[in-house]
Amino acid sequence: MLIDYAAITHVGRVRKNNEDAYLVSALDGDEPLVNGLGPMPNTCHAGILAAVADGMGGAASGEIASREGLASVAVNLFGHWGRFPAHLANEAGLLKALKRAVEGASSAVLSYADSERSSRGMGSTLTAAVIWKGHAYLAQVGDSRAYIYRKPGLVQITEDQTLVREMISNGTITADEAKTHPQRSMITQALGAPVPIRAVLSRVALRRGDRLLLCTDGLHGEVPDEHLALLLSRGDPASATLEAMAQEALLRGGRDNLTGLLLTLDDPGLAMPDLHEPVRIVEPQLSSDPLLANEDTHPNQPIINRLGRLLRGNT
């Protein structure tokens, strides 16, 4: 798959620790690396996972939560999706595996917190996208975001899971009031929560030239959407675009850790967009898939265990 991709993360101007994390991984068994980028394979029958996470919890706990969450998502998706042969893979299976991976990541963060008294109460946001067969399948927990830039504009794919978003929906406050609300950063869901989470799944058909941006609130909270769109419209390489976004966030205050992950999808296998074709966001319905009914153990379990140890070593 031909993708120009890059990532950037910065502690910002106020915080002492960087509790953000990112990951890009081929879901065909390659060993993923949290906060690191390897070469993109030419083919990957199971797709590409891209994700960002924003940890919370104080001291080093937030840093652990975000990395633990990403590690768990990657390992679970490999074990419950990437292991299936290409001719058996289908959308229903991917959606179920993605939902299970996010729920497993939340349980992993909670389990770590329960085992380490100093990490009690830690958690993390998660915005993850699996690029497979011309679509992006997304899972959302918290207020990190996914956008797609398709000429002529920028579309926010995910919806923030925050208190102010709910207040806007029920008419308590306006969107403008939400920008300065004292509780604007209070999220309503997080990995590691002691109650079951509900990952919001969505699907977007990709077109050649689309630019997929995943970012934490340290970036989208400082840089307005119209400025993100301007930077994306220039068509600069992914690394240069992210550098410009990070510098803009720092100039505007840099009050939080910031992370951006940008993928420019120039693969000739993707359809060209029609003139001014809109980005259509679909919330797919989960259906049962017998392939995933009994998947707790399988021949690749030792590989999964090895990946888990590797990723946890990165924390």
Q: Give the whole-angstrom CA distance, residue 45 versus residue 132.
A: 8
Q: Give the whole-angstrom CA distance, residue 190 versus residue 201.
A: 15
Pick the CATH number of 3-310 from 3.90.1150.10, 3.60.40.10, 3.40.50.720, 1.10.1740.10: 3.60.40.10
Band (pLDDT 50/70/90 cuts) for residue 292 is very low
Identify which has the larger pLDDT, 54 or 276: 54
User: What confidence score (pLDDT) does residue 119 get?
Assistant: 78
Boundaries of every domain in the chain: 3-310
What's the mean pLDDT in 207-224? 97
pLDDT in tens, 109-132: 999 888 877 778 899 999 999 999
Name the pTM for this structure: 0.89
Residue 209 tokens read as 């030239």
Q: Which residues pair with 47 in a beta bridge?
A: none
What does the DSSP assignment read for 175-194? HHHHTT-TTTT-BS--BT-S
Element of type H or E holding 27: none
pLDDT at 206 over 80: yes
Q: Give the whole-angstrom CA distance, residue 95 versus residue 291.
A: 13
Q: Give the whole-angstrom CA distance, residue 303 versus residue 97.
A: 18
Percent of the chain with pLDDT over 70: 84
